[in-house]
Every structure is written in C-alpha cells, then in structure tokens.
Structure 1
C-alpha cells in the first residue's frame, strides 16, 4: 500500500506481475512508446461514442503508462489532463490492466481506494470507464478508457460499449500484427 503524500489519501496501486511480459509484447507490436495517429482517431471515436470529453488508448509499462491514442474535446475543461505519459500510480488504467477486467467508476470519490488518486485533485477527474486490451496470447496490453470531470452514470450500456470498443481495437491490433492493417 502507498499513501499519496500531497493528499494523505490511501492509494492502492496494484502489483503488476505481467509487466515484463507486457513490455516485450508491446515492443514486438511497436506500441506504447510514441503517439499513433490511428489510435488518436480511435480515442476520438471512443469519446464520441460515450459522449465523454476525454478518451485514450493506454499501454501500461513498468513504472509508467503511455497514451498512444489520446483525445480531448476542444471544449473540455483546461485542467492539464490528459497527458501522453503518466506515472503508473496516476489514474485507473493500471488497475484495469492488473485485474484484467473492465472498470466503471461513476464518481471516483465514492470509492476510498480511488478517491485519493492524483488525477482527482490534480486534474479534476470524477468518472472513469475503461476496459482491458487483451491480445491473442492472453496478455493485457493496456486499456481503452473514457474520462469525465463530472460524475457520470455510465451504467451497463457504457460498460458493454467500452468492452465492444476494446474488442474492436484488439482486432485492429491483430490485423496490424498480421500485416493486414
């Protein structure tokens, strides 16, 4: 367990035992270390689909996470969020990666485990919707996610949508790998 010094809140950043295998796989796929125009467009589609001001395609590394795909609406609040690269203990994507399941947080402040995260006070994040990107080898590469600065009722529909988008993106990544994309 870690305490985030600036807020004094408990921050549980899960242990990521798959990080070494993921790092190798991301290198094989050429992902996770530079912006990707196609993934930026996919992030925009995610934001448009769920009507969120921010969305991303995030690849989790050992000590950092990298948004190879990133979108923020022109009218989104000027909070400095999102950034292409974040420490591993910022945000909620690392939690999705380790637990290997989608995560819906309608109001992050409702959960002690998540309320003290640096993106809450520092960037104004109030709600999160994310699903893992699990490749054909069973490795979770990262996430597809959407974020808002106000509490959101994502509901079962939002959960189903983000899972569908994640599956679609994994298929696209496999096409790239197979030389068809």
Structure 2
C-alpha cells in the first residue's frame, strides 16, 4: 500500500512534551494550578507596559491545555474577581488548548521565541491563534524552574507585526527570570 508524503505535516504540530507529568507535580508542590493569581495579573500589566504590547500573559502549560494565571489586555483596567469561573480582563478566556499558540513550543524548547511576524514562519503561520484571534507577533520566554522543568512562559502578543529586536528579547528573558525567582521564593503566591 502506497502512502503519500506530506513534507509540511510536521510543521503545524505542537511539540511532544515529555516533562508534562513532572510539571503538573511541580505545580502541586508550588501551589499553582488552573486559577488566576492577582500578582501574576499585575506582572502581566508591567510586562505589557515595558514592551508596549497590547496583550501580556503568565502562562502555565499543562498536559492538555494552557492556563493564563496572569493576563493583561490593554484597556482592561477594571478590577477582576479572581476565581476560575470568572472571565479574565477584557472578557478574555484564561484557558486555551495546548495546540493553540506558541508557548508550548517555548516550554518544550526551554528557550525564548521571537516571532516578529508569525506569517513569515510556515511552522507558526498555520497556528489556530492566527485565524481565531488575529495574532501576528509573539515574544515569549520560559519560566525555568531549578528542577530543570519549564513551568510555563511569560509572553506578549500583538495583532500587528512587531520588530521586537534584541531589546525585546532581553526584556522578556529578564522578566521570565524575575518571575521565576518570585515563584521559587513563594512571594505573594496563595497557598
């Protein structure tokens, strides 16, 4: 039986994540999970301000979904009740399938990812967030736990192409390192 070869079939797949079970155990140890954290929302707001991006996220990547434990959308200055059932700032949903977006790639690679225009990269241009949310630009860095596991990411996105440049890369990496230290100290995190 002959099979046809599709040279692009591997391009749109979300990468395999062998660390997912260990990451879930680490979330339990740290008291993190599928619930918003007010301090993470504040962190996301600061990240958006530093980068000039309209959207910023502290994203905890699970086995089958991503959870935006911190989220900021420009123009959503109102207070947000923080419970899993409540909407996020600007009415955005805090949960997304694992095969949507670029953060799962950052978590598996354990390296920052800069996409000034996602449409320039065939592997990323076909991601559902391009058509469903109009995402055109992404800048993200992993939250690297001392155990060697990437817990998730901090990232910013825009619906327009953005020249993030070296300054953007340095900013996102330093902000990820800062938040990782905060998480490790357990500062301002609910238990």
Question: TM-score of the superposition, structure 2-length normalised?
Answer: 0.83
Structure 1, unaligned stretches of length 5 or more?
1-7
Greater mean alpha carbon deviation, residues 84-93 or residues 29-38: 29-38
Structure 2, unaligned stretches of length 5 or more?
1-8, 77-89
Give the superposition deviation at 1:88. Answer: 0.2
> What is the SS of the residue equivalent to 1:31?
coil
| Counterpart position of 1:48 | 49
CA contact (8 A) 1:54 1:82 kept: no
| Counterpart position of 2:30 | 29
| Counterpart position of 1:3 | none
Give the superposition deviation at 1:131. Answer: 0.2
Size of the aligned set, in residue pairs, is: 168
Q: 1:10 to 1:139 in 2, by over 3 A?
A: closer
RMSD: 2.1
Question: TM-score of the superposition, structure 1-length normalised?
Answer: 0.88
| Counterpart position of 2:142 | 132
Please give the alpha-carbon distance, in whole angstroms, between the structure 1 residues aligned to 2:91 and 2:121.
21
Give the superposition deviation at 1:81. Answer: 8.4
Q: Of the two, which has the highest radius of gyration?
A: 2
Please give the alpha-carbon distance, in whole angstroms, between the structure 2 residues aligned to 1:81 and 1:60.
21
1:100 and 2:110 correspond: yes
